Structure 1
């Protein structure tokens, strides 16, 4: 029985570690509002469509709760995401792409995003290596432009 408990704990720990594997984060030199504005600006400059902006802190406020600033921006371009969804329809849960801008407990602002490589691995997508590499590079450039 003790062995089962240890095995279960190890499985849970590996699941937590795996959940963070695909998320990249960049510390921002700017405050929350400026980082979010820079993110939106670079997305538009890159010709990407911003589909939605979800302000989690505002939602918390409306529910009478408090949380640090946290905004998810959903963005993309059908030419980038569609080939992945054609290969694996369930990948649509991860497209369009998303970026999270948040302030941690110390007030430090961050930008985070899931890599396309992680999405490809998660959905066992094959044959999209070149596009995956291109989009991973684009996401890294977007995060860098928003934070530096």
Structure 2
């Protein structure tokens, strides 16, 4: 599901923790590097708050992202790429940014726009591969 805010959300078909692990494995299999896993739920608990399972996976490949950043340095605020894995009732969701949103937000053209499209295609494949792995 695409929305007007430049986000795409798809449904996962496994338990939350397995989905996060599967996303990280798919990122690595696609030739990208997982830079971090940010467990927002764990951080909320440490702050004395509650939050349904929510983890942000940051990943990238400098040969792709650098073209986007080189064209418009502000693009670095949105890189590395991210996949948000979150629990929505009984469902697990995966959310990521669209290339169009990155292009509009940073006003990139040429190599930066091509890099944004490459990143979205890779992110979409990672999410779809993760969602489909439960069905295989």
Q: Same fold (TM over 0.5)?
A: yes
Q: 1:48-92 CA deviation, whole Å, 9 max, x = no partner?
A: 111111000000111111110000011001111100111100110
Q: Is 1:33 paired with 2:33?
A: no
Aligned residue number for residue 7 of structure 2: 23
For 1:76 and 1:131, the matched residues in 2 are separated by 12
4+ residue runs over 4 A deviation = none
Q: What is the SS of the residue equivalent to 2:82?
A: strand
Is the CA contact (8 Å cut-off) linking 2:64 and 2:118 kept in structure 1?
no
Q: Please tell me whether the aligned partners of residues 24 and 115 of structure 1 are also in contact (alpha carbons under 8 angstroms).
A: yes
CA contact (8 A) 1:57 1:66 kept: yes
TM-score scaled by structure 2? 0.88
The alpha carbon displacement at 1:20 in A equals 4.6
Name the Cα RMSD after superposition: 1.4
Asked which structure has the greater CA Rg, the reply is: 1
SS in 2 for 1:74: strand
Which residue of structure 1 aligns with residue 92 of structure 2?
109
Unpaired stretches in structure 2, ≥5 consecutive residues:
none
